[in-house]
């Protein structure tokens, strides 16, 4: 791949590839014309993978990793961030927050730290509100796997100031929740399309830009079909803005998850369904990235191969 390759990693928490059944799967029910356009009219469901189109590829990734039980957030995210089959090494899936064993894997070299050691510019674009930092400082809250990996690598977490200045995005993309739920009216509001344009702009300033979207997992646990459909329809408009501004020749968008959940609202629990790896970019970038991409352990090495000049794998 060419020097200057960019990767935007959009992490959708708790999104698997499920049945094409709108009665239980919001990914089959929601109006998502942009995503369906990428997939040749198909929905983000198991039957659509594998797919290789003009601008996007969709692969199915195993999130179970040979370990009995249902995949969980801490171990699943740790696998994505290290390339290590953490649940197999531990003998069990664990979550939602990392226990000391999972934290040890994350602190002992991860995607953020390895790329930074190789001279790459890395950012976690998700903004965290003031009360989050207060809860972390007081010990009332623990880092989840992604901010733990970032902070252990020396990557600063984005703040309210970063969000106001346009250097970060809110968890809901538009920052509406920062007004209605957090009481922070100084936060600029974006449309979903504007958020997609902002993502492309910020990703272009980094070698790896990472964004964590956790609302999908929240909707899955609450079995909220209407809410999940609204989230996915908003996400579709984020994609519209992102695709408008994204340069397929210079970078790759990776959209994937840690485990299934939202794709089956017949249960509150996580699922054993595979998760999507949706790749957006040139055919060359997608083909090279997708080589040997079959389960969660393969995402980390694919990113490391794609960004030349990086440090050795941990």
* Residue boundaries of the structural domains of the chain: 6-71+121-276
Residue 1 · residue 308 · CB < 8 Å: yes
pLDDT, tens only, 197-230: 999 999 999 999 999 999 999 999 999 999 999 9
**Is residue 137 predicted with pLDDT exceeding 60?**
yes
What mean pLDDT, rounded, does the chain reach?
95
Residue 126 has pLDDT above 50, yes or no: yes
Give the strand pairing for 208-213 and 6-12.
parallel
Pick the CATH number of 6-71+121-276 from 1.10.1740, 3.40.720, 2.30.30, 2.40.128: 3.40.720
The percent of residues in the chain predicted with pLDDT above 90, rounded, is: 96
β-strand pairing of 275-280 with 56-61: antiparallel
Q: Can you tell me the distance from the alpha carbon of 256 to that of 58, in angstroms, rounded to the nearest whole number?
A: 10
- Is residue 310 scored above 70 in pLDDT? no
What's this model's pTM, rounded to 2 decimal places? 0.95
270-307 confidence digits (pLDDT tens): 999 999 999 999 999 999 999 999 999 999 999 999 99
Is cis: bond before 96, omega within 30 of 0? yes
Kind of pairing, strands 208-213 and 122-124?
Answer: parallel
Q: How far is CA 205 from CA 167, 190, 208, 251, in A?
A: 10, 20, 9, 11
Q: Which two tokens stand for residue 305?
A: 């191969």
Residue 312: what pLDDT? Answer: 41
How many percent of the chain have pLDDT more than 70? 97
Distances from the Cα of 223 to the Cαs of 48, 110, 215, 228, 270, in angstroms?
A: 23, 33, 12, 8, 11
């Amino acid at each position: 791949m060419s020097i200057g390759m960019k990767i935007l990693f959009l992490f959708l928490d708790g999104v698997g590839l499920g049945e094409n059944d709108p009665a239980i799967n919001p990914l089959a029910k929601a109006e998502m014309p942009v995503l369906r356009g990428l997939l040749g009219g198909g929905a983000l469901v198991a039957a659509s993978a594998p797919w290789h189109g003009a601008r996007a590829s969709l692969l199915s990734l195993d999130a179970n990793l040979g370990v009995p039980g249902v995949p969980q957030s801490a171990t699943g995210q740790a696998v994505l961030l290290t390339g290590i089959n953490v649940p197999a090494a531990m003998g069990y899936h664990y979550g939602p927050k990392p226990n000391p064993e999972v934290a040890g894997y994350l602190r002992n070299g991860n995607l953020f730290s390895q790329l930074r050691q190789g001279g790459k510019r890395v950012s976690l674009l998700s903004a965290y509100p003031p009360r989050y930092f207060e809860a972390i400082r007081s010990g009332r809250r623990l880092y989840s796997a992604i901010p733990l990996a970032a902070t252990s690598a020396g990557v600063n977490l984005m703040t309210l100031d970063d969000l106001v200045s346009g250097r970060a995005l809110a968890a809901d993309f538009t920052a509406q929740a920062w007004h209605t739920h957090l009481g922070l009216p100084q936060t600029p509001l974006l449309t979903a399309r504007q958020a997609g344009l902002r993502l492309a702009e910020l990703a272009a300033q980094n070698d790896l830009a990472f964004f964590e979207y956790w609302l999908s997992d929240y909707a899955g646990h609450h079995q909220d079909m209407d809410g999940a459909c609204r989230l996915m329809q908003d996400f579709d408009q984020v994609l519209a803005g992102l695709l408008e501004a994204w340069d397929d020749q210079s970078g790759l968008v990776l959209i994937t998850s840690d485990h299934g959940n939202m794709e089956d609202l017949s249960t509150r629990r996580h699922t054993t369904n595979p998760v999507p790896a949706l790749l957006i970019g040139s055919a060359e970038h997608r083909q090279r990235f997708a080589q040997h991409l079959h389960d969660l352990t393969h995402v980390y090495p694919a990113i490391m191969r794609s960004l030349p000049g990086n440090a050795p794998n941990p």
